Structure formats: C-alpha cells, structure tokens
A and B are shown apart, each in its own frame.
Chain A
Amino acid sequence: MGQVKLMKGNEAFAEAVIRAGCDAYFGYPITPQSEVLEYLAAQEPHKRTGMVLLQAESEVAAINMVYGAAGTGKRALTSSSSPGISLKQEGISYMVGAELPCLILNVMRGGPGLGTIGPSQADYFQATKGGGHGDYKVIVLAPSSVQEMADFAGLGFELAFKYRNPVLILSDGAIGQMMEKVELSEQQPRTTSFDQSWVTTGKSPDRERNIITSLNLDPSKMELHNRKLQAKFAGMQENEVRYERIDCDDAEYLIVAYGSCARICQKTVKLARQKGIKVGLLRPITLFPYPTKIIQEMTGKIKGILTVELSAGQMVEDVRLAADGKVKVAFYGRMGGTTPAPNEVLGVLEQQFLNS
C-alpha cells in the first residue's frame, strides 16, 4: 500500500506526476489550478527525480515547450484552466497532427470569456469534439475524486505514449480545490518502455533523420495521414472506454454525470432510493472515447435518463445519440460556477419522470 495523505486535488495531481516519472512540466498560473505549479515548485522535482519544471511566459508558450520536449520522447505535461486551455488549442492540434504524446490537465472554471473561478463543465465540447482546428480527438479522462486526480497522472502518460497522442484530464474547480484522502503510488523511474525510434534527439549514423511535423503539402498524403489518425481514434474507441456504474442493476431511472457532478449525483441516488425510487448512476470516466455502448445496452432496461452537468447541456448530446430516441433523456444543468444540490437533482428527476 502506498502513502496515504490528505491533499487538494491539484496537489495530489502534482505529487502524482512526479511519482509517475514525468520528465517535464511547463505551465502558467491561472485559478483554480495554480496549486499544480506551486506544489511542483516547492517540491523542487529537479532534485527529487531530475524532472524539468519551468513557468512559461504564456499558455501558448507552455504547450509549445511541451511539444518540443515530447518530440524528444520525454513525458511532458502542462496544466491550466478553461481560458488557458483555449490558448493551448493550437498547440494541441499540432501535437495530434505530429503524433506527439503529452498530458494536459484542465481544471475547468465557468465561462465564457474570463467567466468565473468556480467549478464548471462547460469545456466538454472543446475537450471531446476536437477543440482546435482539424479532424482530431484526444483521450479525455474525467476524475471525480482527489484519488483519481492522482491515479490519472500515470494512466494518462501510459495512454498518451500507447497512442502517441495527447491525453487530457478534464477536471473542474471543485475536484481541483477539494481535499480528500489519497493513496499515492510508489516513485516510478523516469523511463518509458514505449517505442522511441521516432524521437528527435540528434541523428546518429545508424538511422535516418527523424522529423516531427504536422505539415504535408500533398493533399493525397495528408488524407492518408488523416486516415491513419482516424484509425487510431477508432482504436481508442474500441479499447479505452472507461466508466463506473453505481446501483444500476435494478435501476428504473438512470442519471448520467461525470466529474464533480457525479459526486453530487451519487448522493441523489441515495436520497432517491431512501424514497423507494430505483435510480442508478452511470459515471463516464473517459469522455472520449465515450461509453456509448453501455448506455445503448441500458436504454432497453430503464424508463428514463437524466443527464446532469455543470453546463447548459453538452454531454447530454452524446447521451441522446446513444439513447437514439428509445427512452426519454432529460437534462439538468447549472452554469457559471454554481453547483446543484443532491435534493435539487432529485426534484428534477421526480418532476421529469414521476409527476406526470
């Protein structure tokens, strides 16, 4: 058993990336995720593991530093919150195009614009549908606890190198700021077992030169490259779907929620069952690839689905696509940094499905 600590989500993530054997962090301060950079700075990871830490001049510079480091085969990451993640989209698109692995943490806050510093899930579309320009996907992991903030550091790097593609951890201000018990893994070495034949560390006489680029001016070759990328995304959809089901076996109604919202809805399920309403919770852990199949399977067994998000309704579109009109999919969302109470969600559930 690893070390058990009481930590903030942001701090647990920072500690976990050091322990996961991360090589480099480049970031820029923004609330509510600044503790990641602050915690790393206090830890002096260059002394602990040799990990590089640099506060960049901007979010744009930070993601491009990650690009450079990743192009040499290093396990590099950056973290930010919604407005800063918007700035990183160009770099993320380039990294997918150039097939570079990296880890990105988004501790979401309310938008649009400068918005607010309270928790939000309004970056779902940006995270799961591409975000920047071009046809692409990144694997999106949605932690709903401080423990998962820590666990997804190692998992994120593993998936990033497995697919040579960025992995985004889509957290929010509540998960980043709240304190919980967390079990930390042992220190891992700063090595990776994945193929390193593509990295740019200087052309030695025994190999051809390596080039990291997303450019191909020949449209037919660019289409081939796109097909290769799409095949990779299809592989992710096939192999990397992760979700958690709570009280779903006998459920008549299903709540679908992720991240901090899933934590709130866990309490809603308890309250509902105390009243004799058979409610289950499906918590997608990967938002891309989305757990579409399991929703399709459950659709035939339930009377209704309520999707709850800290947004105006984004993930609900994927739930409706999965349900395909076979069952009513209702939505309840709070916006702008506010969060619903568990009984508030229960009230919506009763109103939507039981008070007719």
Chain B
Amino acid sequence: MENQSVSTDEIVREENLVYKKTSLMTSKALSYCPGCGHGVVHRIIAEVIDEMGIQADTIGVAPVGCSVLAYEFLDIDMQQAAHGRAPAVATGIKRCWPDKFVFTYQGDGDLAAIGTAETIHACNRGENITIIFINNGIYGMTGGQMAPTTLPGMRSSTTPYGRDIALMGNPLKITEVVATLPGTYFVARHSVHTPLNARKTKKAMRMAFENQKLKKGLSFIEIVSNCNSGWKMTPNQANKWMEDNMFPYYPMGDIKVNGEMVKKKEEPKA
C-alpha cells in the first residue's frame, strides 16, 4: 500500500483545515458532564457572535444552574444573574444600551420556575433581547430534582417514584406560552444531540441575534437537552430517551417567526 502520510506543514495549511477551536471559546476546560448539550450550545453562541462580528457589542447574562459558569467559557463580557432574574438583568442592560446585543442563557428551573415572572414580562414587553432556554427536564447542578418541565412519570431525586401529575402538577410548556405574547418576535424549539440538529439550532441562533437589529421584539430559543447524569443514563441512552419521551411532549421546530405564529401542517385527508 502506498504511504499516504502527510507532513505537519501540510496539515496546518489553511486549505486543509476542516475543524478548529471556536475563537470566542476560552481555553478553560468545560465543567459539563460528557454527553451534555451545554458545550455544543456554548460553541454555537460563540460561532454566531464571531461570524456576526459583534463580540465588542455583546453582553451575555449567565443564570444559576450548571451553566452558571458560562462566562468562564465564552470570551465575551458577561453578567451573572441571581436565580431566575436573567431576563430582568438583560432588560436593565438593553434599556441602557439599545444598540448592543444582549442574551440570557437559562435552564428550565431558572427560566420556567423561579424566574417565570421575569421571563413572561420580558417577553411581553418585547425586550429586544435573545433568550436561550436549555430544557433538560431536571435540576442538574443541585443533583437531579424535579423541574417545571419534568415529564409525567419521570423520575428525579424529588420524584423518586415518578412525577405524579395529581400531586405535583403538569410540566410547563413555557415556550408555547411565550409564543402567544405579542412581545415575542421569534420562538423556536431545537436540540443539539445530532450534527443536523446542531446545525438547525445554529441557524435559529443566528436569526435570534440578527433579530435584535430589527427592534421588533424578543427572540426565544428552547433547546431540549439531555442530562445524562441527572437522568442516570449513559449519554447515548439519554439521547435515545430524549427522542422517545421529551420530543413528543416538546416538539421540535419553529413556533413563531417574524412575529407570526407558524401554522401547523394539516393532516392529509384519508
């Protein structure tokens, strides 16, 4: 067989480059569990900011939860908010700097439980910010307790026998809720567990940031994610479980685009 080895010089040639570290990710090792979606979403955010050339005009707001340290991984100015308050913090920033790009990065407990009021009202006021909502149906950092988005029957450390709807209430589809508010301009739900889904998320992320230039309202992206540690599964099992259980309850796709609700495709008539 012919020797096809290439020299280092050839590998580092620009035309041979197929993959590189995203320039707006810091060199800090991610604190996330292997198989977790946070790192992919961070990278997508970093890529979008880099490609739009808006690093000098972007301020991110980190929540309380696993992604509390998001500011250690993204090479941009960031503020860390109290639990649930990121949309209020982002409002304070954006109102003072209407031409800057401001986003929040929040988990389900942060956004849809303790911060529901801040979420609803920032959306309803039509703040020209981007909200990135990571929904893994569980409180990851505190050890896998029930979240507002925990599915019926789903086990967590505070629902060890499964979420009993009669006792614990229903999982909250907050993304559908905010889509009904006149202040939201773009609402979509995606995932990052396959390269195809990650590409779709990136496309939506770009739109969510571009929309800030239009000043027509808030852009809201939910990313349904696994939490293999919290779910007590391997990464592959968690992704499969997510597809089988989370996606039917939290379906993928655009919900509201350019301020208009996306009409569901009609079922073909028999």
Contacts and interface: CB of A to CB of B under 8 A. Distances in A.
Q: Do A and B come from one complex?
A: yes
Contacts of B75: 203, 209
A69 B118 contact: no
A67 interface: yes
Q: Interface size for chain A: under 10, 10 to 19, 20 to 34, or 35 or more residues?
A: 35 or more
A57 interface: yes
B93 A68 contact: yes
Interface in B45-89: 54-59, 61-62, 68-69, 71, 75-82, 85, 88-89
30 contacts: A24-B96, A52-B96, A56-B88, A56-B121, A57-B117, A60-B85, A61-B88, A64-B88, A65-B89, A68-B88, A68-B93, A68-B94, A68-B96, A69-B95, A72-B96, A76-B92, A76-B96, A91-B82, A98-B79, A98-B80, A202-B58, A202-B77, A203-B55, A203-B76, A203-B77, A209-B75, A211-B78, A212-B78, A213-B79, A215-B80
Interface of A: 23-24, 26, 52, 54, 56-58, 60-62, 64-72, 74, 76, 90-91, 94, 98, 200-205, 209-215
B78 A69 contact: no
B32 interface: no
Given A68-B79, A212-B78, A215-B80, A205 B95 contact: no
A54 B61 CA distance: 20
A203 B71 contact: no
B118 A215 contact: no
Given A54-B95, A69-B95, A202 B59 contact: yes
Contact of A213 (B56, B58, B80): B80
Contact of B93 (A54, A72, A214): A72
A23 B96 CA distance: 8
Given A57-B118, A72-B97, A24 B80 contact: no
Interface of B: 54-59, 61-62, 68-69, 71, 75-82, 85, 88-97, 100-101, 117-118, 120-121
B95 A94 contact: no
A68 B100 CA distance: 13
A67 B59 CA distance: 13
A64 B120 CA distance: 15
A304 to B, nearest CB: 46
Q: Which of B77, B91, B101, B120 has the most CB of A within 10 A?
A: B77
B81 A67 contact: yes
Contacts of B55: 202-203
A209 B88 contact: no
A62 B101 CA distance: 21
B82 A201 contact: no
A211 B93 contact: no
Nearest to A62: B88
Contacts of B78: 200, 209, 211-213
Contacts of B56: 202-205
Contacts of A76: 92, 96
A68 B61 contact: yes
B117 A58 contact: yes
A102 to B, nearest CB: 10
A67 B90 CA distance: 9
Nearest to A66: B92
Contacts of B101: 202
A222 B101 CA distance: 31
A74 B82 contact: no
B100 A201 contact: yes
Contact of B85 (A61, A203, A210): A61
Given A202-B101, A205-B56, 13 more contacts: A52-B96, A60-B88, A67-B79, A67-B88, A68-B92, A69-B92, A69-B93, A69-B95, A72-B97, A74-B96, A201-B97, A209-B77, A211-B79
A60 B115 CA distance: 10
A215 B121 CA distance: 26
A203 B121 CA distance: 28
A203 B54 CA distance: 9
Contacts of A57: 117-118, 120-121
A65 B92 CA distance: 4
A201 B95 contact: no
